[in-house]
Structure formats: structure tokens, C-alpha cells
Amino acid sequence: MLEAVAGWVPGLPVRNEELPAEWGVDDAWVRTRTGIAGRHRAGPGVSTGDLAYEAARLLLPGVADGGDDNRGDDRAGPGVGTGARVGAGTGVGAVVSTGVGAGAEEGSLAADASASGAAVDAVVLATATPDHPCPGTAPALAARLGLGPVPAFDIGAVCSGFVYGLAVCRGLVGSGLYDRVLLVGADVYSTLLDPRDRASGVVFGDGAGAALIGVGGPGDPGELLAFDLGSDGAGYDLITVAGGGARDRARARAADGAPAREDTYFRMRGRAVYQHAVERMTASCRSLLTTVGWDPAEVDHFVPHQANARILRAVAQRVGIGERRCVTHLDRVGNTGAASIPLALADAAVRGRFRTGDRVLLTAFGGGLTWGTAALRWPAVDMRAAVNPGADGVSPGADGVPPEAGGMRPGAGDVPPEAGGAPPPQLSNHRIPEGRKRA
């Protein structure tokens, strides 16, 4: 079952008006095409592991700022965090926390898991921007959180990573192997963006979201009901960072002389990605709704990967879910990759949008190509909010969102003509069936 969710974005928003002048864009141009008003960018020296740590410690009371992370002088810097937490194993809602926190203090010690009051048996990190090609970032995150020698590993499903991670964590808990797993989706896409590429530059932001997955029974609030996952490697080149991997190195080694290395920037073929994203997420949602026996009208909240407003609206329309039931957060943070769904969940939770037992449908699409959909019941959460202003003096507003972030709702004119039309063909997916022991 889903026990808790939290999110963290670094620094202050980069508004559309602050984007590079050489891109030749203004606020209206960006909002009309993407639905995005601002995005957050990590500062110099701040990596995926830093943001993952900040999001995770919101769910682990007692974990200190910083931790022993072996990063030298790097700091996470100021950022905005939101979280909604359910009391572990008790069914009693704990305080929802939201606030702005200062960066990690160098040399401080991370608390032991037993002191945090939320023992974690394993850590799963979904990211497309790991701190290093080798080793994975999850083990370092677990050590920094003071979780001891727990198993920890990364998942590389790009923007589908959080949904894939939920499925993996449900399997780990449902099998009886572990009682509680920490899942984090975190990406620092700003480290991969070509400064000349305005198409990607206006869309992507940095952020991290975290969740605790624990043991639960059938019908319990927070129950993870079922999943629908899929991939299509024939489209691997639609979303890529071509350089830096084994393929790139092998080609360089095989060639004569010293050839130029492959492109190390993030590249995306936008029109083709749009079409695949809409078709794959639509088909996946329809398939899973059939599996769990929900009519689209029975879905209380639809939380798609926050790619851009056009994709979100097109998928919702095709699935048959009205705009009022769609949870959006990208207007304030942009596309944050694997962090986008948990960030949207945490934001909606602190706004009091969810009620215990609500039917929630998550769906995502990412590089690979990969896609996935999850159906769950929202857990019981005490919606009391605690605001913790940080050193930079920025405090969230009454709804838990910093006043600088702003907000908007895309209008009907944001949907391109290709969003409509006939239903997409049914695509093959792998469904994870319901097990006897539930997570």
C-alpha cells in the first residue's frame, strides 16, 4: 500500500520571462505550447542524489540535514518541499509537512532508521540522470539516509520510472520479502540540456519525489490495485542521450583514429514522441481500467506524467476523464521526469484535494520507449499543514505553494488537432496481476 508521498524542487522558479533571450520566446509562447509557467533548476554542484535525499528525508522523521554523503563541498541548496505522510503500520494519519528548506549542512550525520520511526527495508531510485554511470545512485542515497546495509538499486525507465518503481515495490512487499520500501523518482535534466535547444529547455525542470510502500490488506486505503506496463525498443531513438554509454565507447574504440564522441545532450523528436505518448498512455489506461473494473467516470483523480499540457489533455479526453479530475503540477515545475507524478501527488495532497479511499489512476510515458499505468486507492492522511520557512525567507502560500510559482490552467486552444480522432490501436502491454498478499 502507499503510505506516504513527498516532493522536493530546488531553488526558486525560473519563470518564462527569465528564459534565455536567444531562444526568442516569451511567457505567452511557452504557456500556449506547453502549459508551463516556470520550472526549477538545480544549482552548481547539485546532483540527482542530492534532490533524492531531500525528498526522501521528508518521509523519514529524524533524518538530519545533509548526511554523510561523500560529496565534498557540494550542497543541495535552498528548495521547496511538500509531503503527505500516513502513520506507518498504524492507519493513523501523521502531519502533512510543506515548506522551504535550506541546503544540507556539511558534516552533519544522518539519523538511524530506527530513530526515524519509519524503518525502511529497501530503496528503489527511478532516474534517467544518475550521479554516475557506475555505481548506481540508490546505494549512496540509502547510506546517506542512515538506513544501513539495505538493498538499494536504480531503475532506468526514464519518465515512466516512478510507475515502474511502484510496480517493483509492490512486488517486493507483496512477496513478503520486505515490509517497507522507499521509492524515489528524481531527475536533474538541466545537466543534460543543450543550452541552444529551446524546445527541451522550456519544458524540463529538476525535482524529486518520494513514496513509502508498505504492507496492507485488500480494501485498505492506499492499496495498490494493479499495473499495466509496456515498452517498445523500436522507438529507442526518439528520446535519447546518445553519448556517454557503452555503445558510444565501443564505437570509439572500434574506429580508427580519435573520432568525435556521440552527442551527450538530451534529444527528443517532439512530434513523434507526442503521438506515441498519447497513444500508449491512452491504451494503457483503457487496459488497466478494464482490469480493475473501473469506468472512466468512476476515477476520482487522474494523475498523468507531467510532460506538457497538450499531452495531458489529449490523453484525458481519449480515456474519457474530465478536466476537473485531472491533477496537474507542471505549470509550476515543468516536466521533472521520474519525479513528476510523486510531485503532483504531494502537491495535490497538501492542497487537500484527495480524500481517503479515492480512486486514483496514474499513467506515464518515457524514453525506451516505456509506459505504464497504476490504479490505487488514496491512503488516509491527516491534512494538517506545517510550514517550515527556510533560510532564503520564501514561505509557501496558504495552499502550500510558494507565491512565486504562480499557476495556470491550459485553455481549450492548447490541444492540437492531432489530439482527437479515432481511438489508438490496442498495444501489447504486460500486466502485473493482483497477488494474494497486497502492498
Please give the positions annotated as active site. Answer: 159, 305, 335
In angstroms, the CA 180 to CA 212 distance is 7
Distances (CA, A) of 422 to 221, 281, 282, 418: 36, 15, 12, 10
Query: What element of type H or E holds 360?
Result: strand 359-366
In angstroms, the CA 368 to CA 365 distance is 9
Query: What element of type H or E holds 206?
Result: strand 206-214
The helix/strand/coil state of 13 is strand
Distances (CA, A) of 67 to 53, 111, 357: 9, 8, 36
Which residue's C-alpha cell is 556521440? 262
In angstroms, the CA 56 to CA 123 distance is 10
C-alpha cell at 327: 491533477
State phi, psi for 323 to the nearest 5 degrees.
Answer: -60, -35
Amino acid at 437: K
C-alpha cell at 93: 494519519
In angstroms, the CA 37 to CA 405 distance is 8
DSSP strand pairing (239-240 vs 79-85): unpaired
In angstroms, the CA 170 to CA 173 distance is 5
